[in-house]
Structure 1
């Protein structure tokens, strides 16, 4: 006799939860950058981009990108290859992204502020053949195999630009990788998510329709381009014939500067992680941002209080709570926030176009409405997998029987549940992954970096209620008065700044429970800093 799980569904219950997913809709048949070329042919003299004092029309933008693409093709880039890009946010960075795409290659964004060791690890695991750089990052080691080229043409022999006016991408481009986004890895190494052109095209086409983006829209590019949200910030306006305003480097952390950009350029659509949205919403002049018709918030759990405050300050602005891991190409669900948003939790909403969501128990059986389980994602949104990591790809991207058919899905590791009206509630993680400043962080990666120092016997990292990272360290011997500063320098060589704990606490031993396992709840509160 077959043993049934307690969550075994009746046929009617199964049909109900499967029916919460949208019916399939037509999928785009060309990559995003080809759609941008077609838009540029329609409106060549319209303003496409503003960055500081620089203003580029669509013709100027595509001419510049085509020149970059020509140099890359002459240097061996093309379909199936990956080109790293290390540059500060600005017009040249945007041009370079389009140039890489026009060459047929995928782009790998690299933060100039990241430690060289991390940059080398990303380039090597992704298999990048070239790197474009603007000189703002630390130089790679002399013997590093990747070929480094200047982002701007500095007197190299002229290369024939790619003809963007007649550009047509073949299937080897559309079905291939368009971007590699690195996220934190629990093994101590970052992992590169390979996003396909097909998935990117589906996501951005859905955004065009869902948010009625048109030539009158002005979008703000402010998210660090190593974060997947930056992809639609960079490209969506160009698909619609609108214009893009590029925030200066580090302006994404300055709410006053963002308000000035929004009001000065009439920005209509913007994205915030909730932690930054809180600073923005409480600025005295936030009400002056009346040009904003859409605010998207995602990357962290949003509170009803925060969204209610923002709705009061900008009553005519539509607010959406978004959810999605990079492995499912930016966002997969959206919730149009109510005014006011009731309850103590903001839903993550309903699946977007050509996205399938399933909530399952520990035996991968669908669970009923109201029951918590792991969220699996399928459909046109899925990434190809992890660059150079077939083992991890096979572990996270699996086959799943949904109803009467098998499909490929991504195991998110997120807990969720369906509501009776078909929206999803996010309930947290089933592992130790967290979000810090909107960036996904595996605590295990930080712990591995701490333990790699010879003065550390063991270490554990947690997130406190104020969203700050705290590292607890058991030294291997005498730690010394400058132990914390030494460890900070050690971490800074290996991790981006948002992954370096705000506090490092020395302990004689890590607390354990009755079975000898780490008792995270027993970790002491870090001592207050002296003022």
Structure 2
């Protein structure tokens, strides 16, 4: 753990003239966080520096829906801070208590629009805020008051009072609206550094070249939106990039959360087998069968954003601070993998293909109606599959696989004339001279060929024809 040196001015600016909440002497603020968690600075000092009351809630009450609801109601709490993880799991049970709040502040992770929408509809407090900020910038750096749920993720808002936010590129230059960059935070909330760690302090706390003072490098990816709010897009050091596609897990979670019966959601990229990264969705509630969930998402998300497995849990695991504990999410079993009603492969080609699919996809069995990409296949595995098919004497190409992704359909396409025949490479591996007859895509005279070959290191031995690779 890193000890963050927070000066008094940072706490004062958090709870007085902060631009997002007008705390007063009538407020009763719940002290429900772990004292070691930075949210406790707001829970303790917002009431004490404004003449209000601190309502201490025991840890065992915080972790019980009913006990927390009763404590909030009986103690007349008016200000409450909850981590996103705790909020998502407890919101429906806390609705009577949420209605009496002046301020409900939620944050620490990406908010689920579906849960927010239910609270706004059935238990809206006077003010519902999405609060964002690292400990190094003292609890909140930006806030966004949520009055309705629109398309996409919920913004993290605008800088609070006496805070400045910069969206910078890799050269630490300012970026325009819509461009994704790293968030740097400046102003009175920035801490002095890490206790006893000067090297780490120098790495993360930098001179502010725009307004003087110090700015903190958050490591979070954001972009400015046209309305002046910031949109959170994930961690810069943990960008979710799968098979060449940049993926926003929050968007998948939001779509999954909209499915009937789904309560809480989490989507992660798992690599349980080295080199085999897959999207795995976790959810709670009384949801329909996995196949129905997957079919619903197919109509809302591109193929590369569809989870390969779905796991239903009684509760999502949380850390001691109430945040989602992604490391504690279990590995999916065979029953969690998207599959269709099993029917054994028929015929020699289907059986041969099924054996190859089992090997490439690392699954226990493949039925004739199973879908290559639903079983976890992707473009890189598709190339591997086609190569193994060719070695087994089954001619096909990637385009056929994309057009006929089920085992039975692909088997029917193999040998039907719909596959592409790989042309013979006319340039032998040990060629010492390239002749016009070796070129199938272009006509060149010997003199032109010699001029081109002369520019290639190693000469003719390092020249190959690209056309035979085209079917991939």
- The reply to whether residue 259 of structure 1 matches residue 69 of structure 2 is yes
Structure 1 residue 214: Cα displacement:
1.5
Cα gap change, 1:253 to 1:416, in 2 (>3 Å): same
Structure 1 contact 415–429 (Cα < 8 Å) conserved? yes
Structure 1 contact 304–346 (Cα < 8 Å) conserved? yes
Q: Which residue of 2 aligns with 1:123?
A: none
Q: In 1, Cα distance between the equivalents of 2:222 and 2:326?
A: 26
- The reply to whether residue 325 of structure 1 matches residue 141 of structure 2 is no
Q: Which residue of 2 aligns with 1:399?
A: 207
Cα-Cα RMSD = 3.8
Structure 1 residue 406: Cα displacement:
3.9
Structure 2 contact 186–214 (Cα < 8 Å) conserved? yes
Listed as ranges, the matches of 1:457-472 within 5 Å are: 465-466=281-282
Structure 1 contact 303–344 (Cα < 8 Å) conserved? no
Q: Which residue of 1 aligns with 2:119?
A: 310
Q: Which residue of 1 aligns with 2:328?
A: 501
Structure 1 residue 497: Cα displacement:
12
Q: Could you list the runs of 5+ residues in structure 1 that have no partner in the other structure?
A: 1-189, 436-442, 444-457, 469-491, 512-520, 523-531
- The reply to whether residue 268 of structure 1 matches residue 45 of structure 2 is no
Tell me the SS of whatever aligns to 2:328: coil
Cα gap change, 1:268 to 1:361, in 2 (>3 Å): same
Cα gap change, 1:359 to 1:500, in 2 (>3 Å): closer
Structure 1 contact 320–335 (Cα < 8 Å) conserved? yes
Q: In 1, Cα distance between the equivalents of 2:12 and 2:276?
A: 40
Q: In 1, Cα distance between the equivalents of 2:110 and 2:61?
A: 23
Q: Which residue of 2 aligns with 1:218?
A: 28
Q: Which residue of 2 aligns with 1:242?
A: 52
Tell me the SS of whatever aligns to 2:89: helix
Structure 2 contact 186–208 (Cα < 8 Å) conserved? no
Structure 1 residue 241: Cα displacement:
1.6
Q: In 1, Cα distance between the equivalents of 2:205 and 2:160?
A: 20
Q: Which residue of 1 aligns with 2:105?
A: 296
Structure 1 residue 204: Cα displacement:
1.9
Structure 1 residue 256: Cα displacement:
1.5
Structure 1 residue 498: Cα displacement:
5.3
Which of 213, 223, 229 is matched with 1:417 structurally? 223
Structure 1 residue 289: Cα displacement:
4.2
Q: Which residue of 1 aligns with 2:187?
A: 379
Task: Give the TM-score normalised by the residue count of structure 1.
Answer: 0.46
Tell me the SS of whatever aligns to 1:374: strand
Which of 135, 154, 161 is matched with 1:353 structurally? 161
Q: Which has the higher strand share?
A: 1
Q: In 2, Cα distance between the equivalents of 1:385 and 1:462?
A: 38
Aligned residues: 275
Structure 2 contact 142–160 (Cα < 8 Å) conserved? yes
Which of 352, 369, 374 is matched with 2:177 structurally? 369
Structure 1 contact 281–313 (Cα < 8 Å) conserved? no
Q: In 1, Cα distance between the equivalents of 2:76 and 2:186?
A: 37
Structure 1 residue 400: Cα displacement:
3.5
Structure 1 residue 422: Cα displacement:
1.1
Listed as ranges, the matches of 1:116-265 within 5 Å are: 190-207=1-18, 210-265=20-75
- Comparing 285-294 with 405-414, greater Cα deviation is found at 285-294
Q: Which residue of 1 aligns with 2:343?
A: none
Q: In 2, Cα distance between the equivalents of 1:467 and 1:390?
A: 42
Q: Which residue of 1 aligns with 2:353?
A: none
Structure 1 residue 327: Cα displacement:
0.6
Tell me the SS of whatever aligns to 2:209: strand
Tell me the SS of whatever aligns to 1:282: helix
Structure 2 contact 85–324 (Cα < 8 Å) conserved? no
Tell me the SS of whatever aligns to 2:86: helix
Structure 1 contact 206–352 (Cα < 8 Å) conserved? no
Structure 1 residue 291: Cα displacement:
2.0
